[in-house]
Each structure stands twice: as structure tokens, then as C-alpha cells.
């Protein structure tokens, strides 16, 4: 995953997750070592780990990106005459690339394979065009036969709609006229000299254009045909050259966009080309199949011009969401016009609905997944944007073009925001979503998210990957001082409520699927009254962490009890009953930073119980990775990097600790 800012050279990243994009969005401030620890390596390490990252500010690059985007949009708008054929050629090359590769595997020369693929495309387009033209001519010839039915349906529709509306408006006008006062009489018309002084009315003038010459008539007749033929010829020529020079174009793109990182650039280009080719071929296959099924079905229903509507539906299905329904409305109107009853129209509409549902919910997910890579809103916005730029052609090409941009944004850092805005991938990670819902005072939605995630992952992984990651975002906000005390209390209470609601979660399906990995089957703890004492740190969310640890220990059949940081720090009463304590678990999100208070807490507990096993987590470092929470000669203190390690260490301590140590007073 990319990082918006490169890490600082002196930044010790072992204390935070490298995937924490939120924290990486803040530049590192200069180090300010504690005055009481000046010159101490341990104090310098604490200062590095306890940094708070200030918010970033807009830079000149942001303004340059905005200006570049505006310039690109203007270029697309004013250069449409040149860019549309080139774009069609590129998309057609993606579509023909699999066919060319298949022909080359048959030992055909490259040029011959490309020529065969292009000729096949031309013949297919010519056949479809001839079919549509023949069907249009046939319908135009048969329309007079349906004139009586059409007039009857129009009269019926007018009577039910316009007639009733006209009657309603007439009654409303009559009622309004009864309550409206009578207008004053019109002034008398001028006579005599006054009438002669009135301005004269202008004399009407008519302009007649000469009859067009045969040449002008020919130009008017062939102009609509010449332009598409010219564009199609240009598209075919450019497509042939693109297919001939695919390798050369690939090398030039690599040289332009990333010759310094050949592996990344090559992977990006290969992935983009293969992904787009598969998508276009699959979409073309689905659309052609839908058109064929519709043609056969409409012919069976008795709708004239069934082949025409099948071809139109196949073409219009490239227009997102509304394309196939345009064809459905046209076919339904024709079916309603040629039959006095409404039976044929109703069956036609039902058949379109069934075919579209089957294609959208079954065929497309089987061919290229349930997601095309674009969010539904992005598809609609892209259709509006490209229609504004390039008209009807832009509407048809909106989804392929936007998909190309989103695919490119996965590998180009400056375009990644387009992938986030337009793609169908979640904009926030599950941990970010959880914390955002807590910030919005919506714990119910956070609990619903937990239910969805727990269907795919065990409870311990949910706490580790979602809740704890979200708490690290919250901890960073606390260090920055942006969370008020009232909001902090609400977040803690919401998290405690969520933890309590998750006590009844059943993890048996995950244990059966991943037997031997879950905490329930790790250890066999003797049930003789022994307890693990869970002690939270003094961090803002350590009470929640302790509650989670206690819940997981109980689910692992490890008896435990919890106390508070202040009780352990100030009195011995917080240690509950010393005769029952068999191991101590110190749970804190600050364990990775090894702050002085946590080291003092471990030292104080060790003084009270010299031989008692102490497990410190979560995300604590090993002693060989940096500053340890316990001295190197303290072999009874164990550090846990994850929740799973923490539960394992507690279970192991309960098993291996001698019976005499369980009765030692703290």
C-alpha cells in the first residue's frame, strides 16, 4: 500500500503499524527529548514513540493537480473530434487482443492474425447494420397495417389521461371564473381623426429559397452516412497499427511512466490490459447473448421486428442502467400498438425484466464477478460527464473509459484519488469505519459492522484487526488533544457496550474450519480456583482493552478477574484475593511504546510478587527489538505482541506455574 509521505529517517516504525495510513498522513515534527532524560537512549526512544502528528496543509502540488485536471477536461471537450476515434481504437484493440492472441497461437503471422481479426469485426458490424436496416424498412412498410390499432390505443390513452386532465382543468377554470371579479370594459376604439393617426401595420414579407440542385440533394442525403464511415475507417486503421505495435507501445509507456521501477510499471500495464480485455470481452459476450435471447423471445411472443429489438438491446446495454430499458420501452410500445388488447405489451415488458435480471444477477457475476470495479453512483456520474463531453458516443463509452481511469489509478499515485472516489472498493478500512462510527455517536452501526465481520472471522481476529486498529486512531487523536473528555467517555462506554454484546458470539464454525488455531483449543487449564488478574494501563482506552482481554480469557476457559490501574498502583486491595491469583496480565495499548509508567507498574507488581508470571501486551516489543518493559534478568515476565499471543501466554502460565506459587501472597 502506498504511503502519502515517505517515512522519516529517524522514525522508529516498530511502535506502530506500517499500514496506519491515518498516522502517515502527518509530517513528523522535530524531536523534543525530555529534559529529565537528555542524553539517555531510553528517553530518546520514548520521545520518538510518543510523537503526535500535526495535520498536513495543502501544498503547491494540490493547486497544480487542480489546474492539470481542468486543462485535461478542456482538452477532452475541445479535442473530441480527434480523441473520439483514438479512444474507440484503443478500446477496440483491447477487445480484439484476445482474438489476435488466439490466432497467433494457431501459428498465423502477426499481420495476418490482425487482419483476420479486423475483417471479422468489420463483417460482424456490417451484418448487424444490414439487419437493423432491413428490420427498420420492414417495420416502416407494415406500420400502415397497424394504423387502426394505433389510433384506437392513442384515443384510449388520451381519454384516460389527457381527457380527464382537461375535464378537471375545465371545472377548475369555471369555479375560478365564478369567484373572480368581472374585469372592467375595454376602452372604445378610436374613430375619425384619431383612427387616421394610428400607426400603420407593417406589410408582411415572405422569403422563398430556390429549389436545391441535385448535387445539394445528394450532399444532404449522404452527409449523415459519410461522417460515420469516415470515423469508422479511421478507427480501423488506428486499431491495426495499435495491434501491430503493442510491444513497442508497451515499452514506450514503461519508459514514460516508470523506467526506474520496471517491475511495478510492467505489472501495472499487464494487469490493466488483461483486466480491461477480460471485462470488455465478457461484457460483449453477455450483451450479444442478451440480444439473441430477446430476439428469440420477442419472435415467440409475436412482436414484429424481433431481430431489430434484439440488436438494439445488445447495443444499448453498453449504456449503464437505462440502455436496455430504452429498447424495452420501444418494444412494449410497438406491442401495444399492433394489438387491440394489452396482452402482448405486458408479456413483452415481463420478458425484458426477466432477461435483464438473469443477465445482471447470474450471468455477469459468473463471467467477471459481482463488481465491475465501479460504484453505482460513479457509473451514473460518469455517464453524465462523458455525455456532456462527447455526446451519445460518450454515453456508450462512459463505463469503459471510467473503468480504464480507475484501473490506472491503482498504480499511479497522483490518480489514486479517482480510484477511491469512483471505485467500488470500501473507502475506509474496517478499523477506520469502526472508529468513525464511534466518533459519530453511532454504536449501533458499529455493532452491525461487527456482526457482518464476525460471519467471516473469529472474535479474536475482529478485536485484533478492527477494534484495536481503530483504537490506535483514537489514541492518536487523544495525543493530539482533539477528543474532548465528554466524547472520550462516550466512546469508551460505547466500546464497553459492544464488548458486552459480543459475549454471546459463537465461534464454533471458525474453530471447525481452522482447527488447532483458535484459543479455545490451545491449552487445558486446571479448574482449581486459580485466576489470572487483568490489570489495565492508564491509557485513555486501556479499560476497554482489559475488558476485551478478560472476555477472551474466559472464552478460552481461563478463569480471570479484572482490577484498575489506580488500585494496583496505590493499594494492595486491588489485587483481589492473593490466594487465588496465579498470573498477572497487564493489558495496555501503550505496551508498544514502553512508557515509564508502564515499566514502573511492572516493577511494582514484580516487587509484590517476585515469582508471579506477568504477561504484558498488547503489541509489546521483544527485548531484542528495543526497550524492554522488564529487566533482562526477569524471566517471569512475558511480552505478547498480539491478542492471540497474550491468551496463549496466560494459558501457558496457568499450566506451568507450580502449585505453591499460586498461594503466594502479593
Contact 520, 642 (CB under 8 A): no
pLDDT at 21 over 70: no
* 333-349 pLDDT tens trace: 888 877 777 788 889 99
Question: Which of 511, 532, 560 is the last residue in one of the domains?
Answer: 511
Peptide bond preceding 618: is omega within 30 degrees of 0, i.e. cis?
A: yes
503 and 580 fall within a common domain: no
User: Domain of 604: which CATH number?
Assistant: 3.40.50.2300
Mean pLDDT, the chain, rounded, equals 76
* 517-559 pLDDT tens trace: 444 434 555 555 678 888 898 888 999 999 999 999 988 888 8
Give the mean model confidence (pLDDT) for residues 179-188: 65
Contact 382, 374 (CB under 8 A): yes
484 and 561 fall within a common domain: no
Neighbours of 375 (CB within 10 A): 18
Give the mean model confidence (pLDDT) for residues 557-570: 83
pLDDT at 162 over 70: no
556 and 637 fall within a common domain: yes
Q: Is 617 helix (H, G, I), strand (E, B) or coil?
A: strand
Residue with cell 501466554: 649
Cell triple for residue 298? 420477442
507 and 535 fall within a common domain: no
The band of 211, judged by pLDDT with boundaries at 50, 70 and 90, is confident
500 and 531 fall within a common domain: no
**Closest CA relative to residue 666, chosen from 551, 531, 550:** 531
* 452-497 pLDDT tens trace: 888 888 888 899 999 999 998 998 899 888 888 999 999 999 999 9
The band of 42, judged by pLDDT with boundaries at 50, 70 and 90, is very low
Residue 487 lies in a domain: yes
Residue 215 lies in a domain: no
pLDDT of residue 547: 92
Task: Please name the helix (run of DSSP H) or strand (run of DSSP E) that holds residue 644, with its range, or none.
Answer: helix 643-656
What is the rounded CA–CA span in Å between residue 204 and residue 564?
100
pLDDT of residue 624: 43
**DSSP class of residue 533?**
E
652 and 543 fall within a common domain: yes
pLDDT of residue 351: 92
Residue 569 lies in a domain: yes
572 and 448 fall within a common domain: no
457 and 551 fall within a common domain: no
What is the rounded CA–CA span in Å between residue 290 and residue 316?
11
pLDDT of residue 45: 43
pLDDT of residue 490: 92
The band of 577, judged by pLDDT with boundaries at 50, 70 and 90, is very low
Per the structure, how many domains does the chain have? 3
pLDDT of residue 576: 46
What is the rounded CA–CA span in Å between residue 635 and residue 650?
15
pLDDT of residue 32: 40
Helices 323-337 and 343-358 pack at an angle, to 10 degrees, of 160
Position with higher pLDDT, 579 vs 662 = 579
CA distances from 192 to 187, 197, 432 (A): 16, 9, 90
What is the rounded CA–CA span in Å between residue 247 and residue 244?
8
Residue 96 lies in a domain: yes
Cross-strand pairs, 639: 616
- Proportion of the chain above pLDDT 70, given as a percent: 73
Contact 374, 402 (CB under 8 A): yes
What values do phi and psi take at 290, rounded to 5? Answer: -65, -45
The band of 323, judged by pLDDT with boundaries at 50, 70 and 90, is confident
pLDDT of residue 579: 54
Does the predicted model carry a pTM greater than 0.95? no
Give the mean model confidence (pLDDT) for residues 601-618: 82
Question: Which of 511, 545, 576 is the last residue in one of the domains?
Answer: 511
Residue 631 lies in a domain: yes
Question: Which of 99, 121, 145 is the last residue in one of the domains?
Answer: 145
pLDDT at 661 over 50: no
Residue 334 lies in a domain: no
461 and 495 fall within a common domain: yes
What is the rounded CA–CA span in Å between residue 204 and residue 249?
66
Position with higher pLDDT, 609 vs 544 = 544
**DSSP class of residue 522?**
T
Cell triple for residue 24? 502517515
* 376-410 pLDDT tens trace: 788 888 888 988 998 888 888 888 888 888 877 87
Residue 173 lies in a domain: no
Contact 546, 601 (CB under 8 A): no
What is the rounded CA–CA span in Å between residue 197 and residue 191?
10
505 and 531 fall within a common domain: no
500 and 443 fall within a common domain: yes
What is the rounded CA–CA span in Å between residue 591 and residue 642?
11
Quote the distance between the C-alpha of residue 119 and its chain's center. 39
Residue 495 lies in a domain: yes
pLDDT of residue 15: 39
What is the rounded CA–CA span in Å between residue 419 and residue 396?
21
490 and 608 fall within a common domain: no
**Closest CA relative to residue 464, chosen from 475, 456, 472:** 472
Residue 125, domain extent: 61-145
Amino acid at each position: 500500500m502506498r504511503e502519502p509521505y515517505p517515512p522519516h529517517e529517524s522514525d522508529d516504525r516498530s511502535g506502530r503499524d506500517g499500514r496506519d495510513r491515518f498516522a502517515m498522513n502527518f509530517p513528523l515534527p522535530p524531536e523534543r527529548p525530555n529534559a529529565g532524560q537528555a542524553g539517555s537512549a531510553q528517553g530518546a526512544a520514548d520521545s520518538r514513540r510518543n510523537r503526535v502528528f500535526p495535520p498536513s496543509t495543502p501544498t503547491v502540488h494540490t493547486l497544480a493537480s487542480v489546474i492539470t485536471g481542468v486543462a485535461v477536461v478542456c482538452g477532452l471537450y475541445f479535442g473530441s473530434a480527434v480523441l473520439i476515434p483514438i479512444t474507440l481504437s484503443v478500446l477496440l484493440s483491447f477487445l480484439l487482443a484476445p482474438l489476435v492472441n488466439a490466432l497467433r497461437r494457431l501459428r498465423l503471422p502477426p499481420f495476418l492474425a490482425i487482419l483476420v481479426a479486423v475483417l471479422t469485426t468489420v463483417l460482424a458490424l456490417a451484418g448487424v447494420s444490414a439487419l437493423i436496416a432491413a428490420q427498420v424498412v420492414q417495420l416502416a412498410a407494415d406500420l400502415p397495417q397497424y394504423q387502426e390499432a394505433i389510433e384506437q390505443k392513442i384515443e384510449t390513452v388520451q381519454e384516460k389521461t389527457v381527457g380527464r386532465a382537461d375535464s378537471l382543468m375545465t371545472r377548475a377554470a369555471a369555479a375560478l371564473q365564478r369567484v373572480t371579479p368581472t374585469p372592467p370594459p375595454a376602452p372604445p376604439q378610436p374613430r375619425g381623426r384619431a383612427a387616421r393617426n394610428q400607426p400603420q401595420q407593417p406589410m408582411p414579407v415572405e422569403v422563398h429559397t430556390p429549389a436545391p440542385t441535385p448535387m445539394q440533394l445528394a450532399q444532404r442525403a449522404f452527409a449523415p452516412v459519410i461522417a460515420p464511415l469516415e470515423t469508422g475507417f479511421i478507427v480501423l486503421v488506428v486499431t491495426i497499427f495499435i495491434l501491430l505495435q503493442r510491444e513497442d507501445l508497451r515499452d514506450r509507456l514503461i519508459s514514460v511512466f516508470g523506467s526506474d521501477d520496471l517491475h511495478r510499471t510492467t505489472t501495472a500495464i499487464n494487469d490493466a490490459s488483461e483486466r480491461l480485455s477480460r471485462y470488455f470481452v465478457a461484457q460483449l459476450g453477455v450483451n450479444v447473448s442478451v440480444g439473441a435471447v430477446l430476439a428469440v423471445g420477442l419472435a415467440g411472443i409475436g412482436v414484429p421486428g424481433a431481430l431489430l429489438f434484439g440488436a438494439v438491446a445488445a447495443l444499448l446495454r453498453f449504456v449503464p442502467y437505462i440502455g436496455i430499458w430504452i429498447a424495452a420501452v420501444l418494444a412494449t410500445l410497438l406491442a401495444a400498438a399492433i394489438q387491440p388488447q394489452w396482452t402482448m405489451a405486458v408479456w413483452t415488458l415481463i420478458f425484458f425484466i426477466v432477461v435483464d435480471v438473469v443477465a445482471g444477477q447470474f450471468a455477469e457475476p459468473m463471467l467477471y464477478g459481482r463488481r465491475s470495479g465501479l460504484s453505482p453512483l460513479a457509473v451514473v456520474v460518469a455517464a453524465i460527464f462523458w455525455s456532456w463531453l462527447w455526446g451519445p458516443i460518450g454515453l456508450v463509452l462512459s463505463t469503459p473509459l471510467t473503468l480504464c481511469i480507475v484501473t490506472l489509478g491503482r498504480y499511479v499515485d497522483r490518480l489514486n484519488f479517482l480510484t477511491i472516489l469512483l471505485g467500488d472498493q470500501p473507502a475506509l478500512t474496517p478499523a477506520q469505519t469502526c472508529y468513525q462510527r464511534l466518533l459519530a455517536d453511532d454504536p449501533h452501526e458499529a455493532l452491525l459492522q461487527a456482526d457482518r465481520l464476525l460471519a467471516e472471522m473469529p472474535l479474536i481476529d475482529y478485536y485484533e484487526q478492527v477494534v484495536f486498529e481503530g483504537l490506535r486512531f483514537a489514541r492518536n487523536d487523544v495525543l493530539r488533544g482533539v477528543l474532548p473528555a465528554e466524547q472520550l467517555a462516550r466512546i469508551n462506554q460505547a466500546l464497553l457496550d459492544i464488548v458486552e454484546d459480543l459475549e454471546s458470539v459463537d465461534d464454533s464454525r471458525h474453530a471447525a474450519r481452522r482447527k488447532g488455531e483458535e484459543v479455545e483449543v490451545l491449552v487445558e487449564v486446571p479448574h482449581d480456583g486459580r485466576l489470572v488478574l487483568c490489570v489495565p494501563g492508564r491509557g485513555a482506552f486501556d479499560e476497554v482493552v482489559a475488558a476485551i482481554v478478560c472476555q477472551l480469557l474466559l472464552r478460552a476457559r481461563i478463569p480471570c478477574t479484572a482490577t484498575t490501574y489506580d488500585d494496583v498502583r496505590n493499594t494492595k486491595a486491588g489485587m483481589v484475593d492473593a490466594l487465588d491469583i496465579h498470573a498477572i496480565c497487564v493489558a495496555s495499548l501503550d505496551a508498544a511504546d514502553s512508557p515509564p509508567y508502564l515499566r514502573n507498574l511492572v516493577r511494582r507488581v514484580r516487587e509484590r510478587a517476585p515469582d508471579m508470571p506477568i504477561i504484558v501486551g498488547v503489541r509489546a516489543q521483544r527485548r531484542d527489538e528495543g526497550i524492554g518493559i522488564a529487566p533482562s534478568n526477569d524471566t517471569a515476565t512475558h511480552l505478547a505482541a498480539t491478542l492471540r499471543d497474550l491468551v496463549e501466554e496466560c494459558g501457558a502460565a496457568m499450566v506451568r506455574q507450580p502449585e505453591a506459587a499460586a498461594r503466594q501472597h502479593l
